[in-house]
Amino acid sequence: MKISTEIHSTSRHVGEEKAIELLAKAGFDCWDFSMFEMVRIDWRDMTIIESSHPLNGKEWRAFAQKLRHVADECGIECNQSHAPFPSRVVGMDYLKRAIECTAIAGGKICIVHPDNNSNAEQNAQMYNELLPFAKEHDVKIATENMWNWGNGEHQSSPAACSTSKSFCDHIDLVNDPYFVACLDLGHAEMRGSGDGAPNMIRALGSRLQALHIHDNDCLHDSHQIPFSMDIDFNAIAKALKDIDYQGELTLEADQYLGAYNKENVFEGVCELAKSARRLEQLIKEV
């Protein structure tokens, strides 16, 4: 089974090109193309503000091609990507740009967040509008299980795809082979919103074609390295084996490398790779 991780947390220290090199050197088979810097969001009023990142410049295609070249030289492939969010603020033009960048980089799946507070029918409108463009570029769109906060109980509350039923409803309503599920294990384990990652894995079955893997205290969205907090990865490994999961093991422990710097970030990347291999071994053994 191939292991992968997002490049955003590493690139904050060394830039995207060097991040890909370090991932390959650490033993990752794949890289997840993080495109959050394509669009900057003012979270106070949920508006777009100017971004100077190359993905927002005139040469965005050349930038994606450059990353593809670096990865090819290092012997590592792009397996999936993450479009900027929230999708309703970002808009169709940037979501399509993310899909095209995914194709240029060689990725096969682009994760596009649903709108947290919309139902399956409402979110289907956005995905159905994107699907023809995605098919032209041979890139699948994956929706992801979300969560909300502030229900007065100091824990997460339900949002789009946060339960097995909601997630399956989203996938089945669109009903297209180019529309699949990316299960965020950390989100699924947050008390108050989901019904647990093992249950959701089994409910999704073959719909599940991508993962966001990280750890937390089953309350907060900590995005920490697997096996460092409270999530039961033995139960998750068993569920993945039960459905014969065929995708990659992709980490999204993007807060973990915050404790590192430019000089020692490679040590952290190596620890991330070890955690992914540990999960791979668990799946073989359960």
Distance of CA 101 to the CA centre of its chain: 15
At residue 154, the pLDDT reads 82
Convert the pLDDT of each residue in 89-129 to its tens digit: 999 999 999 999 999 999 999 999 999 999 999 999 999 99
Query: Which DSSP letter does residue 115 get?
Result: P
Domain ranges, ordered by start, for the chain: 3-285
At residue 74, the pLDDT reads 98
At residue 50, the pLDDT reads 84
Structure tokens at 99: 């899909």
Separation between Cα atoms, residue 218 and residue 64, nearest integer Å: 36
Nearest alpha-carbon partner for 127 in 70, 180, 185, 56? 180
At residue 149, the pLDDT reads 85
**Residue 177 preceded by cis peptide, ω within 30:** no
CATH code of the domain occupying 3-285: 3.20.20.150
Could you write out the DSSP letters of every residue in 224-263?
BPTTSSS--HHHHHHHHHHTT--S-EEE--TTGGGG--TT
Query: Residue holding tokens 């073959």?
Result: 206
Separation between Cα atoms, residue 57 and residue 272, nearest integer Å: 31
Q: Identify the H or E element spanning 30.
A: strand 30-34
Point out the residues of the chain with pLDDT beneath 70: 150-152
At residue 13, the pLDDT reads 98
At residue 151, the pLDDT reads 66
pTM for this model (two decimals): 0.97
